[in-house]
Structure 1
């Protein structure tokens, strides 16, 4: 397990005790998806392909919108949630690519195949995230929701980029009712 994934999975270790049990697995899966961004960035570095992949993004969104009702989720909720995941993932990729450009080299980490290995991983994770989002959905309107997220993502062991990516990935998770 690479170092980034180990850190990413520590996101909720110090989350608020009042947080519902359904939040921790959701945040851990979000962190796992963000950790995969490292591998995607390496693939993009090697292939010189841009981070932005509108076709793939549209495929992911179309898939979650189609699957949402089977998870008892509103398609618009699934679309919004996964759009945030995609944006957070791109944020990590852009940061890595900039760092590697500055250093004039990428890490010597193993390079899994984007299409054959990484995307199937993301597709499996997508189903788990839909299920966990559905499990957490009743708590999205809880007035404490923003506090639970803030405590989880501001865990002191998080690296700044992980924290920023988690903030982006969870930015629309809570629903504010006036």
Structure 2
């Protein structure tokens, strides 16, 4: 009779394992790559502004590196972070990555144009107007960071985010420069 009880317990245990396994996908569901889309769209938009900033700097001869502007942006981000439920230092770290990715775009494009000896033709943006656009994006990015806080805290964040970046780059036909800039942009997102 004891042997029968053990079989019965083993069968019950198997059913319990199957039942729990069936529920796990609902409990511990992997993040969808689309969960990152709003954030990636804002980041890609910010990187694309790097194209216009590079044109402006081509025309004016101003350097890409602007430590005073970068410091001002990071201080502004720290000041606004709490209103979005973010740690100021964490927000500044993420924005520092965004600044680096934007500079990456600028350096790459300026290098290409120097090799060719000419920049693209077209409307020439004013750097001041571009900075206004960048400042407007700041709040949208902080909101997107806030909305993805739970995703960024997950253990699978690096893998989920890498897949999301790959999917986003492909679906938006990002060229190599802008894909690399997006990869750099997300470099410090996961906690």
TM interval, short-chain normalised: 0.7 to 0.9
Aligned partners of 2:113 and 2:119 also within 8 Å = yes
Q: CA deviation at 1:111?
A: 1.1
Unaligned runs of 5+ in 2: 1-29
Q: Residue 150 of structure 2 corresponds to which residue in structure 1?
A: 138
1:81 corresponds to 2:97: no
TM-score (norm 2): 0.79
Residue 110 of structure 2, aligned match among 88, 97, 101: 97
Q: Decide whether the 8 Å contact of 2:77 with 2:88 is kept in 1.
A: yes
Residue 25 of structure 1 pairs with residue 42 of structure 2: no
| Distance in 1, Cα, partners of 2:34 & 2:73 | 27
Partner-residue secondary structure (3-state), 2:149: helix
1:172 aligns with 2:185: no
CA distance in 2, matches of 1:46, 1:33: 20
CA contact (8 A) 1:45 1:106 kept: yes
Counterpart-to-counterpart distance in 1, 2:68 and 2:43: 22
Residue matched to 1:149: 161
The alpha carbon displacement at 1:20 in A equals 6.6
TM-score normalised to the size of structure 1? Answer: 0.84
Q: Quick one: distance in 1 between partners of 2:35 and 2:147?
A: 6
- Does structure 1 retain, via aligned residues, the 8 Å contact 2:34–2:164? no
The runs of 5 or more residues in structure 1 that have no matched partner are: 1-16
Aligned to 1:68: 81
Query: In the TM superposition, what is the alpha-carbon distance from 1:73 to its structure 2 partner?
Result: 0.5
Cα root mean square deviation, aligned: 1.5
How far is 1:140 from its partner? 0.8
Larger radius of gyration: 2
Matched residue SS, 1:154: helix
1:163 deviation in Å? 1.5
